[in-house]
């Protein structure tokens, strides 16, 4: 049977009890057991991050140009900081995502557009490691008319050694 919304409002305590039950068997990231998938500095930085996030929790960044000018400015500043950290040339631009699939799709699109601009070839390919199953590249590649290919390990190794 498919899950549905509760018929009546639930108390805060009931909601948090359900959340605790759902995460009861999760990895113990608070004690360093998960080096990946967790973005947390020290406790003070985490608290400031949570408070800042909650301050703008109800606003949607898609309304940045029309309604939430402060959010748009923050987004622009984050992109500028990223461009500065990567020493991007003057005139470079950036794209702000919330991570995950959206970021990968944006990266594949940027790679495709860059390759098209350099070569004029609309049929681009992304080479990936033969040791990895890269559904995170293959799926957005299909959406962006980019074909992923995996050379044999020997071909990959020879190319890597030739670049040294």
Residues paired with residue 125 on neighbouring β-strands, in sequence order: 147
Mean predicted lDDT score pLDDT of the chain: 79
Mean pLDDT of 72-90: 93
HSE of 113, CA atoms in CB hemisphere, 13 A: 6
Q: Is 88 left (phi over 0), alpha (psi -120 to 50) or beta?
A: beta
> Residue 41: its pLDDT value, please?
77
Domain definitions of the chain by residue range: 41-89, 97-164
| Three-point CA angle 66, 94, 58, nearest 5° | 40
Structural contact between residues 56 and 39, judged by C-beta atoms closer than 8 angstroms: no
> Residue 124: its pLDDT value, please?
61
Distance between CA atoms of residues 35 and 153, nearest Å: 28
pLDDT grade for 42, boundaries at 50, 70 and 90: confident
Instruction: Say which range, 5-9, 48-52, 149-153, has the weakest mean pLDDT.
Output: 149-153
40: tokens are 């947390």
Residue whose C-alpha is closest to residue 145's, from 116, 103, 102, 117: 116
Whether the pTM exceeds 0.75: the reply is no
pLDDT tens digit sequence for 10-20: 999 999 999 99
Q: Is the pLDDT of residue 7 over 60?
A: yes
pLDDT grade for 117, boundaries at 50, 70 and 90: confident
């Amino acid at each position: 049977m498919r899950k549905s919304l509760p018929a009546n409002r639930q108390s805060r305590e009931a909601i948090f009890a359900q959340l605790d039950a759902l995460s009861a068997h999760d990895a113990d990231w608070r004690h360093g057991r998960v080096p990946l998938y967790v973005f947390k500095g020290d406790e003070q930085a985490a608290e400031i991050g949570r408070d800042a996030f909650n301050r703008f929790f109800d606003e949607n960044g898609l309304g940045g140009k029309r309604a939430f000018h402060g959010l748009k400015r923050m987004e622009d500043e984050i992109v500028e900081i990223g461009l500065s950290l990567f020493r991007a040339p003057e005139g470079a631009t950036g794209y702000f995502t919330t991570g995950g699939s959206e970021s990968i799709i944006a990266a594949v699109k940027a790679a495709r557009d860059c390759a098209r601009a350099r070569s004029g070839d609309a049929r681009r390919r992304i080479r990936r490691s033969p040791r990895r199953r890269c559904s995170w590249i293959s799926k957005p590649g299909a959406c962006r008319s980019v074909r992923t290919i995996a050379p044999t390990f020997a071909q990959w190794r020879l190319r890597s050694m030739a670049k040294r």
